[in-house]
Amino acid sequence: MIERTFRKPSAREVFEFNKIAIPSKINDGEIMNLIDKGILSYSGCTYKSSVEKIEKLEKGKIALFSSRFRVDISESNRSIKSLEGLMKIDSANVLREIDRDAPHRFTKKFLENNKVWPYTLIKKANERQEIENPSMGFYWVGGDNHIRATTWTRAVAGAEMKVMKDAGDFGAEVLDKVPYGKSLRMKVCSRDEDGIFYGPFDVFGLPMFKRGDIEQYSGWINLDHNSNDPDASYRGSKHRQRKFGGVFWSASTIFAFYNAMTFVKKLRDKEQFRINPFPIPANGESIGFIDKLRLQSLIFHRGEKGFVLDSLNKSEMDKIIGARTILRGYDSCWVHWGKMDLSYLYQPGDE
């Protein structure tokens, strides 16, 4: 099992983790020297080739991505906040694959009549994606016209946090003794800063329904939160110009959703959370692929002061993960919450 951390490692830490001597200079010549020695392995120039390279990457080797895969902060913000970098799982085209007479946007009636899981929508939306233009994540529009969005890496980290908490290695607290309506107040440990907590904040619109209740198919569409996690906030002019705002699901807020699921199930066994709109890596192979992006990959690009060798950021990883999901198929890459052993996501002592 490869070590994982929620904090973005430096290039130096990637070399150290893989027990490789850190190069004294970062330039074309030194990079070519490391490639010739087999220490760095060029990822190729397409997303398809990069996925195949990472899947075959051996322990102790580092994949090198060119600037073709670079997604800087401004581009990431623009792509996510404008929604251009995310796939719409409730588009009319996706809905018509479920029912040819589907409305232009989903409704509670449509989801309930067709017994549609969010898993089905994400899978069908993914089948419409192009591998050389992969999405960083996905979004849907709730019944209140507010957007709900997240990315692949945040969904992964949220699931990992849940397994870590179950092992006693991650902190969170449910502050309410019972749900208030369909909401719970939460307090969640920061994913990358020791001693920092987000909250108290509320998770709203929890899908608390008894087993067999038809509303289980529609009860997830208005999930909401008011977390103070900076990563869970939309910012920028495009967002402010919208008539209806958006809800961004960070790793900590996705984890809070899972924590609420567990809390209510223990409190009221008859009320079951039957749905989960956030994907979880399907198996050890899937999380291993993501681990290699985290700690066995570097990107070579030109910065403000010359060439830079850096670890991949979230958006760069999101696009590569999205490409693998397209190439290998959704079912090979992701599962959704259920009665399964998720211990492959984290083993005590990994950190």
Query: Per residue in 172-197, pLDDT tens?
Result: 999 999 998 899 999 998 877 777 89
Query: How many structural domains compose the chain?
Result: 1
Average pLDDT value over all residues in the chain:
88
Q: Answer whether residue 164 is part of any domain.
A: no
pLDDT tops 60 at residue 228: yes
Pairing mode, if any, of strands 172-174 and 197-204? unpaired
Instruction: Tell me the per-residue pLDDT of 294-314, one tens digit each, with 9 for 90 and over.
Output: 999 999 877 666 678 899 999
Q: Answer whether residue 340 is part of any domain.
A: yes
End-to-end Cα separation, the chain, in angstroms: 10
Q: Which residue bears the tokens 């009665």?
A: 339
Q: Answer whether residue 218 is part of any domain.
A: no
Helix spans in 167-270 (H): 237-241, 251-267
Q: Answer whether residue 176 is part of any domain.
A: no
Q: Answer whether residue 199 is part of any domain.
A: no
Domain around 60? 11-72+283-345
Query: Which pTM was predicted?
Result: 0.93
Length of the chain: 351
Say how many C-beta atoms besides its own lie within 10 A of residue 56's C-beta: 11
d(CA 178, CA 182): 10
pLDDT tops 70 at residue 153: yes
The percent helix, strand, coil of the chain (3-state, each to 5) is: 40, 20, 40
Q: Answer whether residue 62 is part of any domain.
A: yes
Q: Answer whether residue 25 is part of any domain.
A: yes
Q: Answer whether residue 214 is part of any domain.
A: no
Our CA angle for 254, 257, 259, nearest 5°, is 110
